[in-house]
Structure 1
Amino acid sequence: MESSNENLNATLLNFEDQTPLPLPKTRNRKTLIFTSIILVTLIATAGILFFVQNRSTKSKYSDLYFEGSRKFYCHLTIYPDSCFSSMSHLINRSSIASNPLPIFSASLQIALTELKNSNNSISNAMISISNELSTTVSTFHKCATLLSHSLSLLNQSLATLSVDLEAMEIETLTYSETDNIKSWNMAAMTGAEDCFYALQEFESTVEIDREKMVVNEVRSKVDKARMCLANWMGLFLMKDYILDEFYNPIVVSDNYYPGYSGFDYGFILFLYCGLYLFLIVLYVMVLRGD
């Protein structure tokens, strides 16, 4: 009898040793739930922060034409500082807010004015220097011829665009007229550059101080005319780009998120639906585990 009881106790003890304890399972389930809650909280927080940030960027939107016209589109030119300095004295910024044409008419007017001024400075210089300085007179005469030709070419551009700068018809130019103006501008630019480099080279050989001063003064004026002419060329070459920004304004943001703009609420709804679905699935798994 005692032997039978001992065998029964041994069997029960062996059965208890083989039965898995529920504690580790419960502990693992709690760890899973706790980790999932933290994960869901982090994802929800990130979604809210993203939503708030993306919505706040809408106050930073700006019109590309407005931004460009504030600086007269001088950033498209070869000499933006010279462009902005000369244009700001001639154009009222409010006038180009609703009309881009003054950008082109003012640029052409500045180029014409500076070419005339440099040509006049050459004429005055030839009068002021001694007739004995034949080399200087010859260089000035060559420059005057080049600048006169450049002026003639720019006047042809003006005649094609419109005799009156205030009524410039740059938007209705044909392809042929556009190509002609580009060719005239390029030839005028070549003439101004040839004059400038001729004066620059000649100045390095001049030994008389007074003569050197006169040449330097003329060269500076020709250089300014050359830069203004280059700026006019740059703006004319980019006319389609400028006009397109005016008639088809594009709005951009400094902190733009591709793919989400305009879909803020949809994104947040999708995020939270996904999180709730995840919690439901997790809850079902816990119930099945029990």
Structure 2
Amino acid sequence: MYRTKPAKGMGYTAVKSSISIVMVDNQEGKVNLDTGAYCTCVGRSYLKTIVPDWQEKRMPIQGVKFSSASESMKPLGIIDLTLIFPHPSQCVRIKVEFVVMDNCTSNHFILGNDYLSIYGIDISNQKDRYFTIGDNQRQKFGFLNNKKQITVIKNEEKSPEKELFISEQLKEAEFNQELTEKMKEKLIDLLFKYKNAFATDKEPLGAIIGNEVDIILNVEKPYPPLLRRPAYPASPRAREALEVHIKELMDLGVLRKVGHNEQVEVTTPVIIT
């Protein structure tokens, strides 16, 4: 249950980092998940390295006093930032209001108890330390430490277009449990690179140049054997599955529903109702 304890008098050497990598304004930054801090804040000097024009985005703050364990803090204002926590399967984006402190010397953002509680960020101190965000307890994020560095996705790979692809097109995807995180990341990169080869409800089958599908229908006698079979009532279970499948084909533009008295050219598969 417990890790190997340090030698007597060396307990302080077991300290672990609670700092993680985040992306802010397309810049790589660090954030400390500080459960001992009641306020989310950032030092003026560190903020300037990430957001040089922060003063133009600053919101005023008045009549509030802040203090650390050793001294009184000097607030300069509030800045609203979006933090992106990188993950091979799906990045997580949160919006945070930081109090900018003039005399804070930390070289990272400090995420205090206020926003740790708002977003349900839980830190696990098991053998492999990690934290989770929100209800998804299976998506684990790691911390920076001296022994193991977190692999951060490149800025160009973290484009909004790729994030949208992962959140929308891969939201129901199931990955083989035997895949490592690195293998899963490479697979996602490959899917994103050739995403135009897939049909969606917004880009139906055949609408993408270079990926057209030719469908030849036999509308003259002799008909194919399957079309000559007499109709028979399908079971409720089979009918339900067929209706779901037909709806998917209609969403992709493979099938089109027309009225029983509508005149159509036999160039596109249709369902006559």
TM-score normalized by the length of structure 1: 0.21
Q: Tell me which of the two structures has the higher relative contact order, counting C-alpha pairs closer than 8 angstroms and 6 or more residues apart.
A: 1
- Considering fraction of residues, name the structure with more strand: 2
TM-score normalized by the length of structure 2: 0.21
Greater C-alpha radius of gyration: 1
